[in-house]
Structure 1
Amino acid sequence: SYPHCWRHKTPIIFRATPQWFVSMDQANLRQDSLNEIKKTEWLPEWGESRIANMVEGRPDWCISRQRTWGVPIALFVDKDTGALHPNTQELIEEAAKLVEKSGIQAWYDLDPATLLGDDAEQYMKVQDTLDVWFDSGVTHACVVDAREDLTGPADLYLEGSDQHRGWFMSSMMTSVAINGHAPYKQVLTHGFTVDENGRKMSKSLGNVISPQNVMNKLGADILRLWVASTDFTAEMTVSDEIFKRSADRYRRIRNTSRYLLANLNGFDPKTDKVAIEDMVELDRWIVGRAAELQDEILAAYDKYQMLLVTQKLMNFCTGELGSFYLDVIKDRQYTAKSDSHARRSCQTALYHIAEAMTRWMAPILSFTAQEIWEALPGERDNFVFTSVWYDGLQASSQGKFSNDDWLTILNVRDEVNRVLEAARKEEIIGATLQANVSIYAGEELSSKLAALGDELRFVLLTSGVTVETVTTQPEGTQATEIDGLFIKVAATTAEKCERCWHYCDDVGAEPAHPEICGRCVSNVDGDGEQRQFA
């Protein structure tokens, strides 16, 4: 139970020695600091009460140390009384000039008579050094205020949660004493990295994971993604398995970006871009969703909520964009005429999303974002980091289907996929394009689905679909998680089009193209198919 040195593990011997202190109450430093703490934004919010309690209960600040290295306390004191030399302010300035010219050692090598003259007989040079927290705590004065290109207070101070008692507090107190206000507008604190068992990283435990090794093995962006994907307000768990999961998330984002770039091949935004009001409705919807998402991501960045940014980016790549939109547009991208409105509309949406998404990820996946940036079509700055947030996204209220309508359609698609998967397991069908789907629903939902017409099959990735209005479950149908929605799947009897792989009754109807459907004939030899919704 006896106090021991935290580093050497040896018993501590206590002795009383003269020290230099900063009074917390003589010039109202404590209360003034507490007032400035209230004016500062603390992230997370509990940081405010933490540092306020520390300042409120702390004793006077002992700023002197008996060490042979460090920033000297450049004072001269009376050998008998300990009183400061009456010209202390001028002497400090002279000492500062010597240090500025010759370095810290100039003070230790200084003969007091050089500055004091005859007074050197009565006064001695203080050998103490400053508390290192005083050194770091005055960066607002010796860095920010001293540079013409910087202005205080600083926007943000960022450090671990242990710095409430250290750098954050010493910076606050010195700035309040010198300038009368806080040195920062915001303070953000993070937890420490621990292993999978919650133990702190240390050489003695042998559980240290070197960031350099992670970068050498997986790449810098995966390390950055792990940092951004972790709740930094608490202890941050790290292990090889966690890095593996980060690599999987990164791969999904990268593959989505590669798909966007691949499908922008041959697209020139100057000549091929379709106006938002003229786009196919599904394309207009996904651009609108990206616009909403960008607002959410920028708001998260403003609050340093990197975890939320990565979650929203990942959910977009795996959800509405990756699992729905990109799946639906494959048919259009691969089978429509290369310069048709249907395909250019889709490419326009992909272009807008790629422009925006690259900027979203740039602060986190910096190397990947720059790689994508250099491959995007159109004229641009050399670096994504010198660009501003993309302003080409627009949410449009035009069209037959609202955002809620498309989300409903997406939910119906999920239910259809569940029934299709069951049909595959029962070997009723092979691929989903071998299926004819019958959908039965209440009047509101059925009319919404029927409004898509023949294009509903493209949304569902089936070769045929019918919609009927019902009030009860028809015989032979599957109930779903959506109230009043019932689904039936049957294998198609139509022929397979060798070009689009859809099963259609009109395959071979055109003698010149006996192996393809009428839609593909139009895309090959005619004006190309028209798409309104999907």
Structure 2
Amino acid sequence: MTEQRDYKDTVFLPRTDFPMKAGLPQKEPGILARWEEQGLYRKLREERAGRETFVLHDGPPYANGDMHIGHALNHVLKDMVVRTQTLLGKDAPYVPGWDCHGLPIEWKVEEQYRKKKRNKDEVPPAEFRAECRAYAQHWVDTQREQLKRLGINGDWDNPYLTMDFEAEATIVAELMKFAEAGNLYRGAKPVMWSPVEKTALAEAEVEYEDITSTQIDVAFEIVESPIPELVGAHAVIWTTTPWTIPVNQALAYGPEIEYGIYRVVDQPRAVWTGPSEDSIVDQKLDGLREATKDDPAIGRRILIAANLVDAFKQRLSETRPYDVLLQLEQEITSSDLEGTVARHPMHHLGGFFAEPRPLLAGDFVTTDSGTGLVHMAPDHGEDDFALCKANGLTPRFVVEADGRYRDDWLWLGGDDERRMSVINPKFNAPDGPICSDLREAGALLSASADYRHSYPHSWRSKAKVIYRCTPQWFVPMGKPLAPSDPHSARATSPSGGGSGYDNPPPLGEVAAAPAADGGGATLRSTALAEIERVRFVPEKGRNRIGAMVEGRPDWVLSRQRAWGVPITLFVDRKTGEYLADPAVNARIVEAVRAKGVDAWTEEAAADLLGPDYDPADYERVTDILDVWFDSGCTHAFVLESGRWPELRWPADLYLEGSDQHRGWFQSSLLEACATRGRAPYDAVLTHGFTMASDGKKMSKSLGNTVDPNKVMQQYGADIIRLWALSVDFTEDHRIGDEILKGVADQYRKLRNTFRYMLGALQGFDSETEGVDPAEMPELERYVLGELHALDATLRRAIADFDFNEYTRALVDFANEDLSAFFFDIRKDSLYCDGEGDLRRRAYRTTLDILFHALVRYAAPVLVFTAEEVWTTRFPDRGSVHLLELSPMPESWVDPALAERFGKLRDLREQVMEAIEPLRREKVIRSGLEAAVTVPAAAVPEGFGDADLAELFITASVARGQGEGVTVTRTDDNKCGRCWRLLPEVSEDGALCGRCAGVIAQLDDAA
């Protein structure tokens, strides 16, 4: 045997400086700094100027804390939209923004005050608002840097803030459009109210949590009825809000419910053990009879629904030492109850409580629970308000802003010990003042603090909310839009009610929404029509927001706080009309543009009203606007103002979490429909919520939150981005350590794909080495066809906003079509073919095409890594994010070739599975030592045995007549350079014909 030569230096191995270890946490900040230095966002705007535009309008996050994982997901999705549209060649600007007004910020500033023992009410309003503004600005600056760290490309130096004077002026101008068109009124009706925060709340500001309440059954004596048997009986109501009994004004029954008059009797219950001598039994019975003497239920005739008798008996029996029975005395139909009148249990107090309590038919009364009779408190319920109003009963405004009854109220008022907030559990407890007084009056039939149910809470203070009837400003949902005479609009407010809502209007005077008369499109109908037109992704969002708009009450605009845009209206003290003078409104808007919300002061009233109006004749409204109205106007001051000329109205897309169907999506829709007649967007994309890895809701108390800032410190921003774009974000999804490790592993595979291509393309010159695809081997032409198919898939995913599909398709192509198939097969050609060989040049040409496509495809997902990949190969060609996709040549599409290779790949999988047991048993070390026999019928037409051996990376392939694949170890010798085992190699270490020729060329060149 001759001495063998070392051929290691003759193999063309990939060479690149691109490191296998990413080091993203250390590398990404430097890339960010380079983008800022280059002015990447502005450069992109310049290069895309004049192109077709795509406008995603950013929904403003709230400026009151660090970025959380929901922020990260949301902004990565927005960035993905903008970058993929940019990739398609469009001009897709991104202007970030923040919501800066409202109770959350005000609440935080108040918390700081409380820690310092300061009283907010003693601080000048302008000073307090300045502190709120500073607090908001701090968190804007903090969140901005955190979001930039995610690689979000946007106009960060020029974001929009709802507290900018220009924005505040635009919000005021939008409000004036409502006022001048008559689409605004002041009326009194129950709204959700937070006694802790002392303000009305919108549905979007409320969350529901399970609580345990006191449930009570209360008897109202019937004093008048067309049915004589009813007089003297007691109508029994059931409620879980005992605190509303002091403002009861009526009882409601169901028009289709069957009732009955029942006699309540006691039944002894065995409550002892031992001998049952008659004397002991008699003694126990005597004790029970004594217990029933003061029982307000026993012996009483009551009116309740027939099919709720058993549940009622159980409630009464659970609170007594004996069982309760109900004996039917007379069946009563609901129609018999018309004209029946009861009296309040506290009628002996006189005044309001001595007034009759009529029984009224209410369609909302059901027999799901309770007694089939519902007590009506129009101050504290929507159904109560509507039914009582229809029957001439008006709210009394007796519960103040802090949730306590007025000092002058006959029951519970003026007694500091008993005058607690109505949300105080002690106030509603079975031994609290309400129940104690009802018990003393003989009206409390049962009371137990064990009723579990869902109840609304303020999502800021976490305190329970109540329905409270107060004068508020509303936008009517059912009134025809744009009346012919907008200046006739009235603020149908309670006389003298003003905006100091703790000074209620005279009893009995209350206003409601203007009647929907005259026909024409209403705000509700306009919004519903737009919901049908707008595209929703996913589609179920259409039904979600549609149902909310269909059933929502009038929009409550007013809030009783300090930090926000004021409701800049003057109301005539005599007529109750609000002033809708365009000249006055223009002065107000300009004043706010110059000084912000601090321009709306009593001192400025005369200047704002001008010479035509006497300030003494007008009340200046001091409420502020619902913060959802602020954010609902962002389309006006961002898309229409001209401050960002690259933007336009309407937006192509709004993108937020699914909770915004009742929040920003809806407030923007309603605002734009009322002022412009259409939605401010053409499509709405929603994402679900991020849950912990076990599927539970994230909570600091549970310790299962994931901080994106810490994730970036450990893994890098590209890992968060890859996670966000890999999950099905349209549904609730998960994140956790194990999930992130899996994403990091997926990232490493993608990174290694790029690393391999960079190494394999080292020194490639398309001018001298490039091969026309038409002249390439079939394998290269097949891969180019697969790239064409991938391009179509990704473009379709961009159009569908299906980024999960986009990322999955990209990853699968890189891993399965390239790394595990194409690269695996062609590495032999890359390493060992001659540099001028057509097959090797075709492979490198294909790699170059793949590189240019894949780095573009990956750029919106892995923004930092794609930049690193691109600049590693082309350090002088600018940023990868300035590139765009080019159309794939249709000549690459060859369905017949794709079908043949598809069948071949299926067969290849069978071969690899058959080889694996021999490799595990160390019969062979790799497929290169395998002699394979495959079923002849399974081989697609056009492939020779040598082709199959090359494609399967085996020593040889033969065709057999059997159905399965068989594998043995080859007897051929191994080439000393390419390591293939071939019949032509005379002995191990000798060269095959191909390698001998390449070595000869290299030796000649040397």
Q: Structure 2 length normalisation: TM-score?
A: 0.48
Residue from 75, 82, 89 that aligns with 2:582: 89
User: For 1:360, what is the secondary structure of its paired residue?
Assistant: helix
SS of 1:184's equivalent?
A: coil
Q: Structure 1, unaligned stretches of length 5 or more?
A: 474-483, 528-534
2:566 counterpart (72, 75, 92): 72
Answer whether contact 2:871 2:877 (CA < 8 A) is retained: no
Note the C-alpha offset of 1:226: 0.3
Distance in 1 between residues matched to 2:635 and 2:940, nearest whole Å: 65
Which letter maps to 1:433?
A: L
Residue number in structure 1 paired with 2:632: 137
Q: CA deviation at 1:209?
A: 1.0
8 Å contact from structure 2 (residues 955, 980) kept in 1: yes
The DSSP-based 3-state class of the residue aligned with 1:437 is strand
Aligned residue number for residue 725 of structure 2: 228
Counterpart mapping for 1:338-377 below 5 A: 338-376=835-873
Residue 479 of structure 2 corresponds to 26
Q: Distance in 2 between matches of 1:384 and 1:498?
A: 42
* Mapped pair 1:313 → 2:810: yes
**Are residues 1:522 and 2:997 paired?**
yes
Higher relative contact order at CA 8 Å, sep ≥6: structure 1 or structure 2? 2
Residue 383 of structure 1 aligns with an amino acid whose one-letter code is: S
C-alpha separation in 2, matches of 1:490 and 1:298: 46
Structure-2 residue corresponding to 1:419: 914
Q: Pick from 651, 654, 667: which aligns with 1:157?
A: 654
Write the deviation string for residues 276-306 of structure 1: whole angstroms up to 9, x where unpaired: 1011110111011011111001110111111
Matched residue of 2:471: which SS?
coil
Rounded to whole Å, the distance in 1 between the matches of 2:590 and 2:939 is 84
Name the aligned partner's letter for residue 640 of structure 2. Answer: D
- Paired with 2:564 and 2:894, the residues of 1 have a C-alpha distance of 68
Structure with higher strand content: 2
Aligned residues of 1:287 and 1:393 also touching (Cα < 8 A): no
1:202 to 680, 699, 703: 699
Query: Alignment RMSD, CA only?
Result: 2.3
Distance 1:294 1:441 in 2: 34
Which of 547, 552, 559 lines up with 1:58 in the alignment? Answer: 552
Following TM superposition, by how much is the alpha carbon of 1:141 offset from its aligned partner in structure 2, in angstroms?
1.3
Letter in 2 for 1:422: P
Q: How does 1:459-470 map to 2 (within 5 A)?
A: 459-468=951-960, 470=961
**Counterparts of residues 29-428 of structure 1 (less than 5 Å):** 29-85=523-579, 88-108=581-601, 110-116=603-609, 117=611, 119-147=614-642, 148-376=645-873, 381-391=877-887, 395-396=891-892, 402-428=897-923
CA distance in 1, matches of 2:893, 2:461: 69
Q: Distance in 2 between matches of 1:489 and 1:11?
A: 73
Q: Which stretch shows the higher mean deviation, 316-325 or 427-436?
A: 427-436
Q: Deviations over 1:184-225 (max 9, x none)?
A: 011011111111232222323322211011111001101000
C-alpha spacing 1:398/1:47, structure 2 compared with 1 (3 Å): closer
User: What SS does the corresponding residue of 2:695 show, helix, strand or coil?
Assistant: coil
One-letter amino acid of the structure 2 residue matched with residue 418 of structure 1:
E
Amino acid paired to 1:35: A
Matched-pair contact (CA < 8 Å) for 1:437–1:489 = yes
Secondary structure of 1:389's counterpart equals coil
- Distance 1:79-1:376 versus aligned 2 partners, 3 A rule: same
* Counterparts of 2:968 and 2:464, CA distance in 1: 82
- Give distance in 2, aligned partners of 1:515 and 1:89: 97
Cα–Cα, structure 1 residues 12 and 48, in superposed 2: closer, same or farther, change >3 Å? closer
Report the Cα offset of residue 314 of structure 1.
1.5
Alpha-carbon contact 1:290-1:393 (below 8 Å) kept: no
> Deviation of residue 21 (structure 1)?
0.9
Output the CA distance in 1 between the equivalents of 2:947 and 2:462: 75
Deviations 1:229-257 (A, max 9, x none): 11111112111111111101111111111
Return the alpha-carbon distance in structure 2 between the equivalents of residues 381 and 110 of structure 1.
Answer: 61
Q: 1:223 to 1:516 in 2, by over 3 A?
A: same
Question: Quick check: which one's helix share is greater?
Answer: 1
- Structure 2 CA distance for partners of 1:393 and 1:421, relative to 1, 3 Å: farther
Q: Tell me if the contact between 2:975 and 2:989 (Cα under 8 Å) persists in the aligned partners.
A: no
Q: Separation in 2 of the partners of 1:75 and 1:177?
A: 18
Q: Does 1:455 align with 2:947?
A: yes
Greater shift, 265-274 or 286-295, is seen at 265-274
**Distance apart, 1:319 and its partner CA:** 1.2
| Equivalent position SS for 1:143 | helix
Cα separation, 1, equivalents of 2:940 and 2:785 = 23
Q: Which amino acid aligns with 1:227?
A: A
30-39 or 88-97: bigger deviation: 88-97
C-alpha separation between the residues in 1 aligned to 2:604 and 2:971? 104
What is the CA-CA distance between 1:11 and the residue it aligns to? Answer: 5.1
Higher deviation after alignment, 331-340 or 1-10: 1-10
Partner Cα separation in structure 2 for residue 522 and residue 397 of structure 1:
35
CA–CA distance in structure 1, aligned partners of residues 786 and 462 of structure 2: 59
Report the Cα distance in structure 2 between the residues aligned to 1:39 and 1:15, rounded to whole angstroms: 36
Cα separation, 2, equivalents of 1:12 and 1:355: 58
Report the Cα distance in structure 2 between the residues aligned to 1:141 and 1:341, rounded to whole angstroms: 61
Distance 1:295 1:58 in 2: 42
**How many aligned residue pairs are there?**
505
Q: How much has 1:453 moved relative to structure 2?
A: 4.0
- Show CA shifts across 1:447-499 (max 9, x none): 626x334232111111222224x2xx3xxxxxxxxxx3x22222222221110
Q: Report if the CA contact (8 A) 2:456-2:465 is conserved.
A: yes
Query: Which of these residues, 969, 977, 981, is aligned with residue 491 of structure 1?
Result: 969
Structure 2 CA distance for partners of 1:403 and 1:96, relative to 1, 3 Å:
same
Identity among equivalent pairs (%)? 39
CA distance 1:156–1:453, shift in 2 (3 Å): same
Q: CA deviation at 1:514?
A: 7.4
The 1:227/1:11 distance shift into structure 2, 3 A limit, reads: closer
Aligned to 2:153: none
Whether the 8 Å CA contact 2:632–2:664 is kept in 1: the answer is: yes
Q: C-alpha deviations, 1:152-174, integer Å up to 9, x for none? A: 11011011111111111111111
The runs of 5 or more residues in structure 2 that have no matched partner are 1-212, 214-240, 242-454, 481-521
Q: CA shift at 1:391, angstroms?
A: 3.3
Pick closer, same or farther for the CA change 1:440–1:108 going to 2, 3 Å.
Answer: same
Quickly say closer, same or farther: Cα 1:428–1:69, change in 2 above 3 A: closer
Deviation at 1:115, TM superposition (A): 2.6
Question: Highest CA radius of gyration, 1 or 2?
Answer: 2
Give the residue type in structure 1 aligned to 2:985. V
What's the secondary structure of 2:935's corresponding residue?
strand
Shift of 1:355: 0.9
Change (3 A) 1:76 1:398: closer
Counterpart CA distance in 1 for 2:597 and 2:719 is 42
Retained in 2: the 8 A contact 1:457–1:465?
yes
